[in-house]
Structure 1
């Protein structure tokens, strides 16, 4: 780049953010022979993939699951690199209500039939929020529910769908599009997790890359032929193109200044797409809760205080009484701003109604707070009421052929997933490589 020969930090492409989409993009460009630099604000790579060693336990504080292994590129990476995985299909669950009373087989089947009926009917209300659509459908529930009192069942179903809005969509029913069943981009096949941590995937795709950690970008300036990137320390980087792999939360918070401002269409897309808080609470107990009556069931739903709580039993993975709870939406936002003591008090006060043998204190507890993370401001995107692919497609269009966006929020099919982020990163790199003028000096 002759005009910037005196600039030390001059590259073909700069990737901002070392999450999996940014790393996938950088790796693809690097392997094609391009001069690429990745700038990462944190002191580690991975973004919302974050495995930590807690004493002898590896805990995934961010993403945990490969959502379906058939044709999933993340699964392919595990196989090519002999990474250990563990099948954990938590679709098969046991359900309890009225304290610790389990659904009978008949009740469980009728409850799930009602859930499936509702999810199919939601397609009739594409422009509604899920909360309004659900209330309309509950008034015309057309399945056998003879094992329940109808009013009681309706209340439980409304709470169950609120739980779905929380997990896996990180929001509340009132903000979630009724289209959501068509927008959950999972692959077919088993769901698996990583006993030694998801970040093993990052090691495979970050090898050989120029990654500068603790480098926070504050300003991006579009020049005539290049893009200038300024960090919070005043350091300047120059590139022909840049790819922003920061979270949608970062874009919503406007933590990076664009000169000139982003086009109105991009700003509107950033505003309209949803981005929610989602948190995990791992806790170890001194004795097992002995939940598993069925060897294939490791997920347990408890209906207490007019809400469903989901408890995942990880004891077989860690060889000790280890449990995980997942929270999204308002309950996750509560965790973002609460202490560990307050979080456990909330869990204990609710779960003890269903699990009388739950000890008053855990042996240890690890709590995430992604909504309070100043480099994320949440966990992942979700489809808001009136969701349109046009919003996502807009973010997939470059600004002046120089500024590109990538991430799970840029995936039409697989938003909110690791494979969606990865595939979008590769797609962006290939789009750059396909443009004949991209790397001309």
Structure 2
């Protein structure tokens, strides 16, 4: 459908004057009824950049730590309908930056379920599949299941530093639920299998199983590979982790030198409620620092953008985004001809529509003035005509008066003549009065027209939709969005780019005080990890798998690792190179046999973006230490992502500049000296030449050029959808044996990583959850479902 052929919603055509001399007042809000207010930032991945104020609309009310046992179960009363949980906002009396993020964690059964991303009063689909007898037996059985499940979750949330064994669970389980040990055992096994309890770094009360169920090779020592390896090891598998780099963490990398600390990759923990990173941080004692939301903007010339101007254009930015959603989801405009539309296409189309609407209002304004002037002139001409008519009536009236003085010769004639003259005189007076009233009415109309003309002349419409400076500020917000998605807006699917918004965690956004890399380093404890080991080929067949590697440090001949199955956590960027290469190249991976067509198609459709950082370490702080973020507005649309945002989140004098959008790709071909020089020039434009010293240390990232990353994180590209994440997550089962005979065996190749989790893509917690998911999936395939498999593997 051609968007120009459809009716445009009122929000799109509503004119908003944003020129420099505007009175800072937006026009009437015409947001569609099903959208949020434009003043409110949407719950989307934009929150990674200009951090939003906390929202708690969906946060359950905190309950007491004492188990909340449902009395209706023990008394056999009729079960009432579950009441909707009320919201409880965090304490607003404390500044956001001073809050302890862990104090926001909810307690009680309801809080434990919420923190575990599970509904408190409802079974999930996976739970219903594993416990069909519970759903079959009705509401009372479901209530019993939920109380046991939530109580076990509560035990784990209260003390995630110690293994929650089945024995301790039974000891702490309250009446009457301890009377059904089999159900408690099954629920405990289910929660442990799927990574809801006993995950991360904790004190084990039971040793690891000595009898191994099989050999697993995990490719990649990022957060997903490490957490999956730990889980599989605890379930009784022999696990080896292969990592091409000389370090663990993947795209979690921290720069440390002297007192300087900065994250080169993942940096922000986006929300604490429901986030598994919260549990890990409590386990290893990571200090989390909440991010202050204030973000002043500095124009291209270094001048501070007025807060009113920034907020006004940000509202317009959100209105434009809401309009794209209206176009896509309400009007179903997602194609132009046979080509799917991108978010960038839709935004530019809406901007052009607004500009067109401004011109239309200008034309209407001139037309209104012309019409009013023509009506005023016509009224004046009518008055002149009627005044002339009054003069004629006056003359006729004078003649009648004179004729009445002449006396006829006969009495009868006199009476007749007088009557006729009186009739003519009265008729003339009536005509006079009628015309006079018409003149007065025209005068009133003319007065009204003059007032309207004066009002029009005093309130001319804007001659532009956005001034050049306004467009620069709007482009900053676009760059902000390009950072959130690691790609130019023209690459994002109009319909599906924000498909994960409903699963955004809430609560404080935080950073890790000593660098994010301390988390993956902690996860390495007890694991067999082979660093400097690059995977060259992944072979999988009906009865096992082989991984051919090369040692990058010693350049030894290839080493082959045999396994029952392989868990591949290679980045989407590396997978894209793998399926595009037909011959062996350095730093590329081959699959043998090639991945199935459906898997390759999903890899090709889904996007893998790029975001780069510039780390600047100084000997002193010359910026406002109370501000975590400040923005730099670019001078052109093409360069809007160049050094558009600076972060001050370190305890030492370190600034971190972001490069997003088209600029992220351009800077990879520019030398460090040029990039750092540009940074210093921008900072001097803001703070003054004398205030900005030369940095002591600098680091420039180039994630696209990194052979083990090939980019930063995934996004839903044009032509892709959220279902492609599911396809990337799906395991691969060999279809033929070595002789080409068809087989029907179990999967041998599994996939994890942020690009494989539909609800939490492009995040560290998403990668972690994908590792937990795959560990559970592997166990389900090779050990059986947890409700039929004993809690502890036999040793």
Fold conserved between structures, TM > 0.5: yes
How many angstroms apart in 2 are the aligned matches of 1:230 and 1:310? 43
Aligned to 1:310: 644
1:338 equivalenced with 2:670 (yes/no): yes
Q: 1:330 to 1:98 in 2, by over 3 A?
A: closer
Aligned to 2:161: none
The Cα of 1:378 is off from its aligned counterpart by: 1.2
Please provide the CA RMSD for this pair.
2.8
1:279 equivalenced with 2:612 (yes/no): yes
Aligned to 2:530: 212
1:398 equivalenced with 2:731 (yes/no): yes
Task: Look up the SS of the partner of 1:324 in the other structure.
Answer: strand
Deviations 1:261-284, CA, capped at 9 Å, x for gaps: 110111111111111221111113
Q: 1:283 to 1:311 in 2, by over 3 A?
A: same
Deviations 1:59-102, CA, capped at 9 Å, x for gaps: 2222111111111001111112221121124x431123362333
How many angstroms apart in 1 are the aligned matches of 2:300 and 2:519? 43
Query: Which runs of 5 or more structure 2 residues have no equivalent in the other structure?
Result: 1-212, 329-333, 335-339, 358-460, 551-556, 579-587, 734-746, 786-795
Deviations 1:152-190, CA, capped at 9 Å, x for gaps: 266236523440343122211211223434435641111
Aligned to 1:4: none
Pick which of 422-431 and 330-339 moved more: 330-339
The Cα of 1:291 is off from its aligned counterpart by: 3.8
Match of 2:488 among 172, 177, 184: 172
How many angstroms apart in 1 are the aligned matches of 2:300 and 2:525? 53
Counting matched residue pairs gives 423
Query: Which runs of 5 or more structure 1 residues have no equivalent in the other structure?
Result: 1-9
Aligned to 2:259: 56
The Cα of 1:336 is off from its aligned counterpart by: 2.4
Deviations 1:311-354, CA, capped at 9 Å, x for gaps: 4342x73243x211111233222332332102113334445444
How many angstroms apart in 2 are the aligned matches of 1:131 and 1:220? 38
Aligned to 2:466: 151
Aligned to 1:269: 602
Q: 1:364 to 1:424 in 2, by over 3 A?
A: same
> Is contact 1:49–1:62 with CA below 8 Å preserved after alignment?
yes
Q: 1:290 to 1:230 in 2, by over 3 A?
A: closer
Task: Look up the SS of the partner of 2:543 in the other structure.
Answer: coil
1:253 equivalenced with 2:584 (yes/no): no
Where do residues 19-38 of structure 1 align in structure 2 (5 Å cutoff)?
19-38=222-241
The Cα of 1:412 is off from its aligned counterpart by: 0.5
What TM-score, normalized by structure 1, do the two folds share? 0.88
Q: 1:147 to 1:352 in 2, by over 3 A?
A: farther
How many angstroms apart in 1 are the aligned matches of 2:569 and 2:540? 17
Aligned to 1:377: 710
Aligned to 1:106: 308
Q: 1:112 to 1:151 in 2, by over 3 A?
A: closer
Q: 1:53 to 1:351 in 2, by over 3 A?
A: closer
> Is contact 2:628–2:647 with CA below 8 Å preserved after alignment?
yes
What TM-score, normalized by structure 2, do the two folds share? 0.50
Deviations 1:13-52, CA, capped at 9 Å, x for gaps: 1100110011111111111121111111111111111123
> Is contact 2:614–2:656 with CA below 8 Å preserved after alignment?
yes
1:416 equivalenced with 2:762 (yes/no): yes
> Is contact 1:138–1:154 with CA below 8 Å preserved after alignment?
no
Where do residues 159-198 of structure 1 align in structure 2 (5 Å cutoff)?
159-178=475-494, 179-183=496-500, 186-198=504-516
> Is contact 1:169–1:328 with CA below 8 Å preserved after alignment?
no
Task: Look up the SS of the partner of 2:704 in the other structure.
Answer: helix
Q: 1:437 to 1:288 in 2, by over 3 A?
A: closer
The Cα of 1:134 is off from its aligned counterpart by: 0.4
Task: Look up the SS of the partner of 1:434 in the other structure.
Answer: helix
More helix by share: 2
Task: Look up the SS of the partner of 1:317 in the other structure.
Answer: coil
Match of 2:276 among 73, 92, 95: 73
Aligned to 2:629: 299
> Is contact 1:39–1:215 with CA below 8 Å preserved after alignment?
yes
How many angstroms apart in 2 are the aligned matches of 1:98 and 1:29? 52
Aligned to 1:5: none
Deviations 1:92-130, CA, capped at 9 Å, x for gaps: 311233623333332232122112212222223355211
Q: 1:100 to 1:350 in 2, by over 3 A?
A: closer
Task: Look up the SS of the partner of 2:485 in the other structure.
Answer: coil
How many angstroms apart in 1 are the aligned matches of 2:608 and 2:559? 30
Aligned to 2:721: 388
> Is contact 1:285–1:362 with CA below 8 Å preserved after alignment?
yes
Aligned to 2:521: 203
Larger radius of gyration: 2
Where do residues 124-135 of structure 1 align in structure 2 (5 Å cutoff)?
124-125=327-328, 127-135=340-348
How many angstroms apart in 2 are the aligned matches of 1:437 and 1:319? 50
Q: 1:317 to 1:344 in 2, by over 3 A?
A: closer
The Cα of 1:290 is off from its aligned counterpart by: 3.1
How many angstroms apart in 2 are the aligned matches of 1:98 and 1:209? 50
Aligned to 1:97: 299
How many angstroms apart in 1 are the aligned matches of 2:473 and 2:307? 17
Task: Look up the SS of the partner of 1:121 in the other structure.
Answer: helix
> Is contact 2:297–2:632 with CA below 8 Å preserved after alignment?
yes
